[in-house]
Amino acid sequence: MKPIRVVAFGGGHGLSASLRALRHSARDLDLEITAIVTVGDDGGSSGRLRVERDALLPPGDLRQALAALADDDPTTRLTARLMQHRFAAMPEIPVQGGTEPLSAPAPVDRVLTRGPRVERRAERTKDTLAGHAVGNLLLLGLIEMLGDPVLALDHAARMLGARGRVLPMARHAVGIEADMVAADGVPSTVRGQHAVAVADGRVAALRLVPSDPPTCPEAIAAVRDADWLIFGPGSWYTSVLPHLLVPELAAAIVASPARRLVTLNLSEDKETVGLSAADHLATLRWYLPSLRLDTVLADTKWAGEPEPVRAAAQDLGAELVLAPLAVADGSPRHDPQSLGVALVPVLGAAR
């Protein structure tokens, strides 16, 4: 019997939770997992690499997806931890008139001259590694060496013994822009994924720059051949919806014979303040009117009153499935094991 081919869309922590859940589901189902990752990140380490190195792709979300798919062997788990390791800022040491970061060479560098031994303070350098994740630098290096992001990601996946494949949404980085409406009704345009994610107000319109980026042929092929396409959880406007704004990818999603599932978030975040669970589904139709779904998966508690969510799901052709998906401490985070358990009967229905 052929494996169930699953393609998961998203980015950041939401996609990571989805991929970990799918790995748990794979204990009961034979799954072939592909992650298609958004490439609009311009904050933190990824943003710095886009500016300082003109990085072809922002590596952060790609790194997280790879780590989520890493094999459980102790060696590969350690490699996954290494990829996720983020360099901390160098500690500061006291100097006359204030403090300055400790950096190599040592704080005092002893040098010999033709006369008596003299001491000089080593010249300080900027701590350029602070804030970077090891995996971001590794992926940047692989992409520069190989000249092909897919080859680089496939090689990194082999290093991790990844139980699946990670592919970019587009072959180069994109920008994300949003028309916002503030609480007082004043409109504005916000540019950049990070800026959109933290901006105050309501998103009135979302777009990519460029509007038609070059897609990844391997991602299009995975969508075409999939049995299931999974969207969410994750930041709705900056991780989930961008996939629907890439024309060629959106066309492949609509044309694919695969079934389609949406996993709803557990709560609103900064970019979706005021949006109900039903509103989240409505935005999918707004940005891709021809999109049809088969299943909407939501947490029993966090979905709130189920009937509006059920009606919104039915408008997209989908059945609403309620299940306990959140971590036990009550925080609005998906528990990968619980999500994986809930996915088994849904994905298995494709048989």
Which tens digits make up the pLDDT trace of 207-216?
Answer: 999 999 999 9
What pLDDT, on the 0 to 100 scale, is given for residue 90? 79
Scanning 161-225, the segments in alpha helix (DSSP H) are 193-198, 217-225
CB of 194 closer than 8 Å to CB of 43 = yes
CA 215 from chain centre, in angstroms, equals 17
Where residue 47 falls among pLDDT bands split at 50, 70, 90? very high
Residue 330 scores a pLDDT above 90: no
Where residue 119 falls among pLDDT bands split at 50, 70, 90? very low
**Rounded to an integer, what distance in angstroms lies between the CA atom of residue 197 and that of residue 5?**
31
Q: 4-39+214-348: CATH homologous superfamily? A: CofD-like domains (3.40.50.10680)
pLDDT digits (tens, 9 = 90+) for 18-44: 999 999 999 999 999 999 999 999 999
pLDDT (average), residues 245-254: 98
Helix (H) or strand (E) holding 179: strand 175-181
Residue in this structure with the two tokens 């003109």, named with its chain if needed: 54
What pLDDT, on the 0 to 100 scale, is given for residue 344? 97
Residue 125 scores a pLDDT above 90: no
Where residue 107 falls among pLDDT bands split at 50, 70, 90? very low
What pLDDT, on the 0 to 100 scale, is given for residue 272? 87
Average of per-residue pLDDT values in the chain: 90
What pLDDT, on the 0 to 100 scale, is given for residue 99? 57
Question: Amino acid identity of 92?
Answer: E
Where residue 106 falls among pLDDT bands split at 50, 70, 90? very low
Q: What percent of the chain lies above the pLDDT cut of 90? A: 78
What pLDDT, on the 0 to 100 scale, is given for residue 120? 42
pLDDT (average), residues 320-336: 93
pLDDT digits (tens, 9 = 90+) for 57-85: 999 999 999 999 999 999 999 999 999 99
What pLDDT, on the 0 to 100 scale, is given for residue 36? 98
Where residue 267 falls among pLDDT bands split at 50, 70, 90? confident
pLDDT (average), residues 296-311: 91
What pLDDT, on the 0 to 100 scale, is given for residue 92? 65
User: CATH 3.40.50.10680 region(s) of the chain?
Assistant: 4-39+214-348
pLDDT (average), residues 271-292: 92
Considering only CA atoms, which of 142, 135, 137, 149 is closest in space to residue 39? 149
Scanning the chain, the segments in alpha helix (DSSP H) are 12-25, 44-52, 60-68, 74-84, 134-146, 149-160, 193-198, 217-225, 247-255, 277-287, 306-315, 336-348
Q: Note if the pTM is more than 0.85.
A: yes
Q: Hey, what's the torsion of the CAs at 248, 197, 229, 175, to 10 degrees?
A: 20
Q: Which residue has the higher pLDDT, 122 or 263?
A: 263
What pLDDT, on the 0 to 100 scale, is given for residue 104? 45
pLDDT digits (tens, 9 = 90+) for 133-162: 999 999 999 999 999 999 999 999 999 999
pLDDT (average), residues 337-349: 96
